[in-house]
């Protein structure tokens, strides 16, 4: 499980593996190879999260159900924010809603200006195969395993 404490603390551990970059063939098995907040203790409320994968991610497979930032009792409440796909990277911006981002509102005043709540635990969860609600590569290959 990856546990984020936004504010002065961040603790974490997570699953993933392999190596990869944006030039990897589209049919490469999809797995997380890098998460920029793992084991960090200096997270700001407006920090954008970066997740890198072994292959380019199909933008149409990325939704609030396939990449989850959870908080609250039992880590069951989703964090609002925008998921931004760039090749083999997905960024999560906690200061702008997906709707505002999709409507080109990046230059406007942020509709979630405060981002993460201070001193709050967050968990990154990406369901993998055999869960049908998972991200996929350009060839439709699913995330090979859960990441949390």
* Residue-wise burial string across 10-37, b where 16 or more C-beta atoms lie within 10 A, e elsewhere: bebebebeeebeeebeeebbbbbbebeb
User: Average pLDDT, stretch 128-145?
Assistant: 93
Report the chain's mean pLDDT, rounded to a whole number: 80
List 125's β-bridge partners, or say none.
68
- pLDDT computed for residue 125 by the predictor: 93
Phi, psi torsion values for 71, nearest 5 degrees:
-150, -175
Which residue has better confidence, 72 or 59? 59
Helix-strand-coil split of the chain, %, nearest 5: 10, 30, 60
- pLDDT computed for residue 73 by the predictor: 85
Kindly report, residue by residue over 70-87, the tens digit of the pLDDT. Answer: 988 888 889 999 999 999
Kindly report, residue by residue over 103-135, the tens digit of the pLDDT. Answer: 886 666 777 778 888 888 888 999 999 999 999
- pLDDT computed for residue 19 by the predictor: 40
- pLDDT computed for residue 27 by the predictor: 67
Phi, psi torsion values for 60, nearest 5 degrees:
-70, -15
| 3-state DSSP assignment of residue 77 | strand
* pLDDT score of 3 more than 50: no
- pLDDT computed for residue 5 by the predictor: 47
- pLDDT computed for residue 63 by the predictor: 94
CB 38 within 8 A of CB 4: no
């Amino acid at each position: 499980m990856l546990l984020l404490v936004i504010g002065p603390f961040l603790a974490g551990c997570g699953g993933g593996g392999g190596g990869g970059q944006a030039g990897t063939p589209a049919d490469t098995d999809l797995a997380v190879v890098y998460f920029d907040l793992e084991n960090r203790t200096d997270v700001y409320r407006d920090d954008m999260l970066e997740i890198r994968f072994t292959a380019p991610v199909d933008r149409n497979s990325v939704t609030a159900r396939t990449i989850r930032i959870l908080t609250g009792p039992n880590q069951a409440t989703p964090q609002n924010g925008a998921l931004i796909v760039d090749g083999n990277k997905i960024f999560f911006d906690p200061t702008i809603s997906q709707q505002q981002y999709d409507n080109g509102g990046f230059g406007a005043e942020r509709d979630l200006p405060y981002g993460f709540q201070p001193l709050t635990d967050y968990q990154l969860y990406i369901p993998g195969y055999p869960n049908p609600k998972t991200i996929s590569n350009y060839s439709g290959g699913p995330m090979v395993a859960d990441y949390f």
